[in-house]
Structure 1
Amino acid sequence: MKSRIDPKIIAGFALAIGILLLTAAASFWSVRGLSVQTERVEHTYQVLQEAESITAALKDAQAGTRGYLLTGDTAYLRPYSIAIGQLPASLERIQSLTVDNLVQRARLDSLRLLVEQEFRILRPLTEVNKSMGQAAMQTLLDTDRQTLRQVRLLYDRIKSSEMALLAQRSALQNVFEQATPVVVLLSAVLAVLIVVLLVVKITKELADNRRLQGELADINATVSRRIAQIRELAEQVVQGDYTVKITDFNDDNIGGLAMSLNRMTQTLDASFGALEKRNQELDQFAYVASHDLKAPLRGVTTIVKWIEEELAAELSPQLRTYLDQMKGRLSRLEDLINGLLAYARVGRTAQPTETVDVAQLLAEVAELVVPPDFSLAVGPNMPTLLTDRLGLQQVFTNLLSNAVKYHQRGAGNLAVTCQDEGSHYEFRVQDDGPGIAPEYHQKIFLLFQTLRDRHTAESTGIGLSIVQKIINEHQGTIRVESSPGQGAGFIFTWPK
């Protein structure tokens, strides 16, 4: 029985999360709106402050200049100097504050022109000398009064516009201040109501789940027992017992699996029985090949020797050549039969594992297959491992004897090295012989494939096939690295 969460609980959680998200969004919207409107109100005050400071600076500059004209005291020119230094920066600030208000920008452009005009009027008055007539001075003062009057009018328009914006922004600010707590409170009340409903629903759901857990525990115990039977069958099959059966007749998936496994073990039992029969037939063939085929070969070889011994005086050179060729063919045929028997026996019987010192094993193999005029260098990292000694010995024997057999240049140098690759060792058997062209790197591992003349007695083309089969039986790999004139390196892996 399967326990699942009530869709109403899921919907309730989704609704609660939705309301919380909505509350967060509404609060964010209210706070953000309040912040924006506050910034805009502050922005309006800044514009008003900058406009008022510009107007006040101009008034102070005008008053100071008139005081200077009346008294001749240069101390009265201080407001004029301050205005010259401050007004350009004030104009830049107020224009940057009103960059998004085209109407105010136009008014500020006019204000800038009036400020520049005012300074053009006041500058000659601050530099008055005896050459300036009374009429010229009076004209400048009249123009100054008119300019300042225009500045005041323009300031009133700027102030009026900003005050209207201030009223709008203040109203919006009040709306956000009043809406924010209402939205948050309403959302919180809804969230609390939904949580209460969910708690009630979850309490009921937990009670149902406890009941279902009891039922599931009983089902799980039954299923575990049935799976244990299947696992026990699998272990017995791995150990080679294909007659086991599972007594599980329940009409469900596990019962169907049990029936399928029973049919599988019956099929495996029949298949392995047939395979064992074929193996017995192969064993019989090996016996026949080793006795019934090799016996006539030995007989023919003996007859050839008798002819050479008893008719030695009567044999012509041509006939001796024929007899030598016959002996070579007979010897090669015997080697082929022995090679085929050795290839057929690989993997047929399980070899016992024993502790093998690879360096010592190579020394024993070298005594058998490496002539005295050859040198064999064994690497320093040869391991000691628990493995099939006979199989590893046969691999090294075939590879080293092949290196000697195909050297073609008399004395040579052989080397065996090893690298630890984690789960396996990688051995390399290297020679300095004639090498192997790349197009033959795969062919040399096939049965009866040889790079030497087929009339050569010792070249059966089976040795590397036996090596590859032994290595494959041990879950390893073998490859060759070679090129003509550069020697050959056979690299194979052997599990630890």
Structure 2
Amino acid sequence: MLQFLGSVGKNCRWSKLPIRYRGALILSIPAICTFTILVTWIWSREDAIAVHRQIDRSEMAIIETNNVLSLINSAETGIRGYVITRRPDFLESYQQATKEVPNSLTKLEDLHRDTSQQPDVAQITKLIRREMSLLAQTVAATNRTSPRSSQIDNLFSQSQTTLDAIKVNANTLRTEEWELLNTHRQKLFDVRKTTNILLWCVAIISLLGFLAALCLFDLLERELENRRMELQARAGELVSLNQTLVQINSTLAERNQELHDFSHIVSHDLKAPLRAISNLSLWIEEDLEGKLTPDTQKQMNLLRERVGRMENMIEGLLQYARAGRQISSEEKVDVRQLIEETVDLLAPPPEFKIAIEGEMPIIETQRLLLSQIFSNLISNSIKHHHNPSQGKIVISVLEREKFYEFAVSDNGPGIAAKAQAKIFDIFQTLGKQNDKRNTGIGLATVKKIVENQNGAIEVESELNRGTTFRFLWAK
């Protein structure tokens, strides 16, 4: 059995069941066995009680039948003695029968009610009552006449015939009752035998059930011990992994700080020569004032524009590098107020219309990051618009299940379909390359910020039909 249960635990679904189900199954085995024993005992006990009742009824019926016959015989014998001797003491048996026979008949009828012997009992009762009537008539006739008359002999003859009939019916009834009694006793023996067999079977099954429960409990205990060892091993692995993560985080923090310091150093070292070049070109112009040809003046202006564009590109690179590493505390942000403040800082042309549609939410988020997104998208729409005097930007929002979907739409020149795939790449710009405002970093920075916040951004546009940028921002 142990080997069988062991194979069950390994190969069947036992090990796949949740522990609480397996524990309930283990507890249910002895509970079912105990319940089975109890039900078997109750059933056999009730069956035995029913058979005992039938045996008691048959025994009582035989006793009452014998008692009635004894009373009737005694009464008939006493009457004969009284007729012969005229002594009153011979009437005592008759008087006793007069008192006790009705009660015995009633008991006999109650014992055979709703049984197959009920008609026989009814016939015996009828004959006994007739016999008692004949005996009463004999006593009365004896008291009226002194010598024995023919009437008394006739009554004795009828009484003897009735008594014989009573004996025949009573013997038949007793024979049937003895047969029933023997049948019931045999049935009681069979019930006891069956009960013993069932109890032994249930006891054996219960013993096997208890053994099975113990084996299953042992399997469960072993599995729990194995799980405990696995958890300890995993806990050790987690501790080791945690230590590794701490070291990695420490190293990453050092690298980020080095990168931050490097970006500032590079920014300073790159910007300083650019500012020197710009200043030097101005000094040259001042020294050669009135001596520069128009073509040379144009080249000097172009030089300063390129220097300005280079400075903007360096600043954009710094912003792009910081976009993934800036961490600020979250706060409640009124998005409408944030957009209005952003527009004020951008200072668009007075004729350029910027509208905020609908009710803007108030959300718990990093204010600086969201402000950078709106600033880049709105400034792009302004500086790339082909007709600023007719320019218009509409900012709206839709509430989703876990996000807000913001949209920034303009009526600008639009973006060709083939160019839409690369506008979020760094250094990709659709404007003029010599325009120092076009660094190609703004939209790349926007995408990086949105994706770092588990959001997404997309563009919808057609040439000459405006552009709409949509981005998802977590609630």
TM-score range relative to shorter protein: 0.5 to 0.7
User: What is the rounded CA distance, in whole Å, between the counterparts of 1:352 and 1:6 in structure 2?
Assistant: 58
8 Å CA contact 1:415, 1:431 repeated in 2: yes
Among 371, 374, 384, the residue aligned to 2:352: 374
Partner of 2:288: 311
Partner of 2:79: none
Note closer, same or farther for the CA distance 1:4–1:199 as it changes in structure 2 (3 Å cut).
Answer: farther
C-alpha displacement of 1:212: 5.6
Partner of 2:252: 275
Partner of 1:365: 342
User: What is the rounded CA distance, in whole Å, between the counterparts of 1:196 and 1:405 in structure 2?
Assistant: 98
Among 364, 377, 387, the residue aligned to 1:399: 377
C-alpha displacement of 1:495: 0.2
TM-score (norm 2): 0.55
8 Å CA contact 1:381, 1:419 repeated in 2: no
What are the Cα deviations for residues 310-337 of structure 1, in whole angstroms up to 9, with x where unaligned? 3221111111101100010000000000
Partner of 2:450: 471
User: What is the rounded CA distance, in whole Å, between the counterparts of 2:258 and 2:421 in structure 1?
Assistant: 31
Partner of 1:431: 410
Larger radius of gyration between Structure 1 and Structure 2:
2
Matches within 5 A, 1:275-354: 275-354=252-331
User: What is the rounded CA distance, in whole Å, between the counterparts of 2:341 and 2:3 in structure 1?
Assistant: 68
Read off the aligned partner of 1:385 and give its amino acid letter: I
8 Å CA contact 2:6, 2:219 repeated in 1: no
1:372 is paired with a residue of what secondary structure? coil
Note closer, same or farther for the CA distance 1:271–1:5 as it changes in structure 2 (3 Å cut).
Answer: closer
Note closer, same or farther for the CA distance 1:207–1:488 as it changes in structure 2 (3 Å cut).
Answer: same
Note closer, same or farther for the CA distance 1:2–1:442 as it changes in structure 2 (3 Å cut).
Answer: farther
Instruction: In structure 1, list runs of 5 or more residues that go unmatched.
Output: 8-192, 227-251
C-alpha displacement of 1:283: 1.1
Matches within 5 A, 1:18-57: none
1:287 is paired with a residue of what secondary structure? helix
Partner of 1:258: 235
Note closer, same or farther for the CA distance 1:360–1:199 as it changes in structure 2 (3 Å cut).
Answer: farther
Note closer, same or farther for the CA distance 1:253–1:321 as it changes in structure 2 (3 Å cut).
Answer: same
C-alpha displacement of 1:422: 1.1
Partner of 1:450: 429
2:397 is paired with a residue of what secondary structure? strand
Note closer, same or farther for the CA distance 1:381–1:213 as it changes in structure 2 (3 Å cut).
Answer: farther
8 Å CA contact 2:381, 2:410 repeated in 1: yes
Note closer, same or farther for the CA distance 1:301–1:194 as it changes in structure 2 (3 Å cut).
Answer: farther
C-alpha displacement of 1:219: 7.6
User: What is the rounded CA distance, in whole Å, between the counterparts of 2:359 and 2:200 in structure 1?
Assistant: 74
Instruction: In structure 2, list runs of 5 or more residues that go unmatched.
Output: 9-196
User: What is the rounded CA distance, in whole Å, between the counterparts of 1:320 and 1:464 in structure 2?
Assistant: 34
Among 410, 415, 429, the residue aligned to 2:394: 415
Answer with 289-298 or 476-485: which moved more.
289-298
1:308 is paired with a residue of what secondary structure? helix
User: What is the rounded CA distance, in whole Å, between the counterparts of 1:345 and 1:461 in structure 2?
Assistant: 16
User: What is the rounded CA distance, in whole Å, between the counterparts of 2:260 and 2:430 in structure 1?
Assistant: 31
Note closer, same or farther for the CA distance 1:212–1:364 as it changes in structure 2 (3 Å cut).
Answer: same
2:277 is paired with a residue of what secondary structure? helix
Note closer, same or farther for the CA distance 1:6–1:398 as it changes in structure 2 (3 Å cut).
Answer: closer
1:443 is paired with a residue of what secondary structure? coil
C-alpha displacement of 1:206: 4.5
Matches within 5 A, 1:230-241: none
Q: Runs of at least 4 residues of structure 1 off by over 6 A? A: 193-196
User: What is the rounded CA distance, in whole Å, between the counterparts of 2:313 and 2:352 in structure 1?
Assistant: 27
1:367 is paired with a residue of what secondary structure? helix
How many residue pairs get matched? 287
Note closer, same or farther for the CA distance 1:3–1:346 as it changes in structure 2 (3 Å cut).
Answer: farther
Answer with 289-298 or 418-427: which moved more.
289-298
What are the Cα deviations for residues 213-253 of structure 1, in whole angstroms up to 9, with x where unaligned? 59957985x789x6xxxxxxxxxxxxxxxxxxxxxxxxx43
TM-score (norm 1): 0.52
What are the Cα deviations for residues 176-222 of structure 1, in whole angstroms up to 9, with x where unaligned? xxxxxxxxxxxxxxxxx9999578525642565368659957985x7
C-alpha displacement of 1:442: 1.9
Partner of 1:385: 363
User: What is the rounded CA distance, in whole Å, between the counterparts of 1:255 and 1:196 in structure 2?
Assistant: 47
1:466 is paired with a residue of what secondary structure? helix
1:277 is paired with a residue of what secondary structure? helix
1:444 is paired with a residue of what secondary structure? coil
2:388 is paired with a residue of what secondary structure? coil
1:445 is paired with a residue of what secondary structure? coil
Matches within 5 A, 1:187-202: 200-201=204-205
1:386 is paired with a residue of what secondary structure? strand
What are the Cα deviations for residues 260-305 of structure 1, in whole angstroms up to 9, with x where unaligned? 3344234323433332232122112112123222122222212222
